[in-house]
Amino acid sequence: MAKVVVVFADGCEEVEGLSVVDVLRRLGVDCDMVGLTSKDVDGDHHIKLTCDKVVNDSLLDYDLVAFPGGMTGSANLRDNEKLRDLMVKRHEAGKWDAAMCAAPRALARYGVLKDADFTCYPGIEDECLKYDKSAKFSEKITVTDKEHKILTSRGPATAWAFAYAIAEVLGVDTKQLKHGMLYDYLADNIQDSL
């Protein structure tokens, strides 16, 4: 079974990270919560999170590493040199990496978005493309670049789409859970409610 880790930094967008953990654990995927510098993380909306461990070399062992966004949280991810070194090694080893909202800017700064298709929170693409003009921005809800093994998403409202896309790139069947969580209902009826 696949192993996933979500990296939480102070100032993270809580719903984006916890949605991934929740969906993956419901699907039976081993999903750890890892704090960037501490097991205790203070989210952007001051929701206290307790992680399983702190970032270390074990990030290299996971099938996929996911970053939630949040302006402060993603800046903390972007600027952490230890995390950068680990993510570059992961990328060079051909492992999957995922980031949503403002967090793709961390992947861009690391050089991991080189030539990749990606999406992010509106306006963050400018910073991403400043780091690497070869990346290709899209306004889709989620973007899965299978060639470069990068998965990205837009923001808080797309957190479930991001979580399901992560499961799907790892080969997990999401159909039953999408139905049980009413995700398929939401996807089918969102336009009718607008």
d(CA 86, CA 65): 10
The residue assigned the tokens 């009826």 is 189
Determine the length of the chain: 194
Confidence of residue 49 (pLDDT cuts 50, 70, 90): very high
How is 128-140 classified by DSSP, letter by letter? HHHH-TTSEE--S
Query: How far apart, in Å, are the Cα atoms of 31 and each of 64, 129, 163, 173?
Result: 10, 30, 11, 16
- Residues 145, 112: contact at Cβ < 8 Å? no
| pLDDT at residue number 1 | 80
Per DSSP, helices labelled H in the chain are 14-26, 71-78, 81-92, 104-110, 124-131, 159-169, 175-180, 183-193
- Asked if residue 194 has pLDDT above 60, the reply is no
Q: Which pLDDT score is estimated for 186?
A: 86
Q: Is 65 exposed, middle or buried (0-12, 13-18, 19+ CB in 10 A)?
A: buried
Summarize pLDDT for 102-116 with one digit per residue, the tens: 999 999 999 999 999
| Model pLDDT for residues 65-76, shown as the tens digit of each residue | 999 999 999 999
Model confidence at 120: pLDDT above 70:
yes
- CATH topology assigned to domain 3-193: Rossmann fold (3.40.50)
- The pTM of this model reads 0.96
Domain positions in the chain: 3-193
**Rounded mean pLDDT, 106-128:** 97
Render pLDDT for 147-173 as a digit per residue (tens, 0 to 9): 999 999 999 999 999 999 999 999 999
Structure-token match 């419901």, residue found: 26
DSSP letter string, 39-80: SEEE-TT--EEE-SEE--GGGGGSSEEEE---HHHHHHHHT-
pLDDT in tens, 15-40: 999 999 999 999 999 999 999 999 99
Residue 134 phi, psi dihedral angles, 5° rounding:
-80, -15
Long-range contacts of 120-127 (CB under 8 A, 24+ apart): 120/69, 120/152, 120/154, 121/69, 121/154, 121/155, 122/154, 122/155
The pLDDT > 90 percentage for the chain reads 93
